[in-house]
A and B are shown apart, each in its own frame.
Chain A
Amino acid sequence: SAVISQKPSRDICQRGTSLTIQCQVDSQVTMMFWYRQQPGQSLTLIATANQGSEATYESGFVIDKFPISRPNLTFSTLTVSNMSPEDSSIYLCSVLADDSYNEQFFGPGTRLTVL
């Protein structure tokens, strides 16, 4: 299993600013994912961030807007840049345990409100 913590748990930001969300895992994992969940909606994958390689972004998401760092096997950050009210969402970090690709673990999420 994997236990994931995220910081901050929530934030209120002004438009035009940037916020960096941290994801910490209690074990070493190769595969890590960042999702967005807009109000009342399902989860949408932003990018896959595997350690040792550049993040792979899904259609509709670009690195300039959502830069991701993955410095080691237990940590990652997602930055939401030049925020607008449309970026108000819950951002979730998720990992696959290296010993099993069948169960994906999710963090508690970061609730972002952009004014």
Chain B
Amino acid sequence: DAKTTQPPSMDCAEGRAANLPCNHSTISGNEYVYWYRQIHSQGPQYIIHGLKNNETNEMASLIITEDRKSSTLILPHATLRDTAVYYCIVRVESGGSNYKLTFGKGTLLTVNP
């Protein structure tokens, strides 16, 4: 399984863009990059995923480098409610149709007023 490396913590000012980096240098060609976040005392929440192209949805943008060894999650206008642990995950598959997510330690993003 490909592993990911994220900074343990980051700060961001409210209203500014939050850029969260992730290294996944051992990613395989058919593995996707997923981002989830976990707000305190809640279950994780899906944010976005991508294979090789940049992706954008209503929550965030995902920028994947051309060699796919790293990616950046961008929250364009961070709010206090975006304070959470953000997990970068490379999807693995095991045993045919089984699918599982392996969570690392993630990045604690603190959005400051």
Listed from nearest, the 4 A-B pairs whose CB atoms lie closest are A106-B43, A43-B103, A103-B46, A42-B103
Across the interface, which residues of B come within 8 angstroms of A35, CB to CB?
A: 103
Residues of A within 8 A of B (CB): 4, 31, 33, 35, 42-45, 48, 50, 56, 92, 94, 96, 101-109
Select one of A45, A106, A108 contacting B100, CB under 8 A. A45
Closest chain-B Cβ to A91's Cβ sits at a distance in Å of: 11
Select one of A33, A50, A104, A108 contacting B46, CB under 8 A. A104
Contact indicator B103/A33 (Cβ below 8 Å): no
Contact indicator B99/A43 (Cβ below 8 Å): no
Contact indicator A92/B49 (Cβ below 8 Å): no
Closest chain-A Cβ to B27's Cβ sits at a distance in Å of: 17
Contact indicator B100/A33 (Cβ below 8 Å): yes
A104 to B47 Cα, complex, angstroms: 10
13 contacts between A and B (CB under 8 A): A31-B98, A31-B99, A33-B100, A35-B103, A42-B103, A42-B104, A42-B106, A44-B103, A56-B98, A92-B43, A104-B36, A106-B44, A109-B41
Across the interface, which residues of B come within 8 angstroms of A94, CB to CB?
A: 43
Select one of A45, A105, A109 contacting B102, CB under 8 A. A45
Contact indicator B99/A96 (Cβ below 8 Å): yes
Interface residue? B113 (CB, 8 A): no
A92 to B36 Cα, complex, angstroms: 15
Contact indicator B103/A108 (Cβ below 8 Å): no
Contact indicator B99/A106 (Cβ below 8 Å): no
Given the interface pairs A31-B99, A42-B87, A96-B99, the reply to whether A105 lies near B46 with Cβ below 8 Å is: yes
Interface centre among A45, A92, A96, A103 (most CB of B within 10 A): A103
A75 to B78 Cα, complex, angstroms: 36
Across the interface, which residues of A come within 8 angstroms of B44, CB to CB?
A: 43, 92, 104, 106
Given the interface pairs A106-B44, A106-B45, A109-B43, the reply to whether A56 lies near B99 with Cβ below 8 Å is: no
Given the interface pairs A42-B106, A56-B95, the reply to whether A107 lies near B100 with Cβ below 8 Å is: no
Across the interface, which residues of B come within 8 angstroms of A107, CB to CB?
A: 43
